[in-house]
Amino acid sequence: MTHSEENYLKAIFHIGKGGANEISTNAIAEQMETKPSSVTDMMKKLSEKNLVNYKKYKGVSLTSIGKSMALSIIRKHRLWEVFLVEKLDFSWDEVHDVAEQLEHIESEKLIDKLDKLLDYPKYDPHGDPIPDKNGNFKVIDKKLLSELSVNDKGICVGVKDSSSQFLKFLDKNKIALGDIIEVIDKEDFDGSFQLKINANSFNVSSQIASNLYVQITE
């Protein structure tokens, strides 16, 4: 498997959110920042290798082999992200680009030992689940903060947008995974939220609220 092939499989998995949907050529091209014609070429090759189901003009889906390869790459990506944060003191907004490179390192032993060193983490620094060796992971029942109602209370468990920009914004405002969030009020006018985060009052825009995942506790 080449780096490029791996990146395509990962892209298909992410667009389809792990399901078996038919993914369009254009969607893949956008995700990969490449041209649709390049995608078509690659889909033919991946189809030849039995990693995707491809029928002309009908989009693609991952085969079970393709899916497990995608999961293996995602596992590596997220484990490396944990390593960078936990062992090398990277901040959560700096890890993605390096992990994009590290995810392609081929060595089963390496990743097993890394998993052990990190004490078998279940989530990456952005709250995304880390598949185990067999590709299994728990899907935690989380909601976007923007979907909560007044008086709902929960724990901040993830981010939808994991751009450096957004993560730095959260840092600056001292919002972190694990924080307890309570919805005090919702403003109809602009969709903004009045929150209590770890006992401090906060007001966040609807844009922020729709990029934070919360696990409701009551």
Partner DNA sequence: ATAAAGTTTTAGGTTTGTCTAAATTTAAAT
Partner DNA sequence: ATTTAAATTTAGACAAACCTAAAACTTTAT
Binding site for Mn ion (CB under 5 A): 81, 96, 124, 126, 128
Residue 36: name its binding partner from DNA, Mn ion, its own copies, none (Cβ under 5 to 8 Å by kind): DNA
Among 5, 86, 152, 161, binds DNA (CB under 7 A): 5
Q: Answer whether 66's CB lies under 8 Å from 11's CB.
A: no
How many Cβ atoms from other residues are within 10 Å of residue 27's Cβ? 17
Q: Is 18 in the site for DNA (CB under 7 A)?
A: no
| Residue of 73, 74, 102, 157 interacting with its own copies (CB under 8 A) | 102
Applying CB under 7 A, which part among 42-50, 70-78, 82-90, 204-212 lies near DNA? 42-50
Separation of alpha carbons 10 and 42, rounded Å: 13
Cβ contacts of residue 57 below 8 Å, gap of 6+? none
Which of these ranges, 44-52, 64-72, 96-104, 167-175, lies near its own copies under the rule CB under 8 A?
96-104
Contacts of 75 (CB under 8 A, 6+ apart): 111, 130, 131, 132, 133, 135
Q: Tell me if 147 contacts DNA by CB under 7 A.
A: no
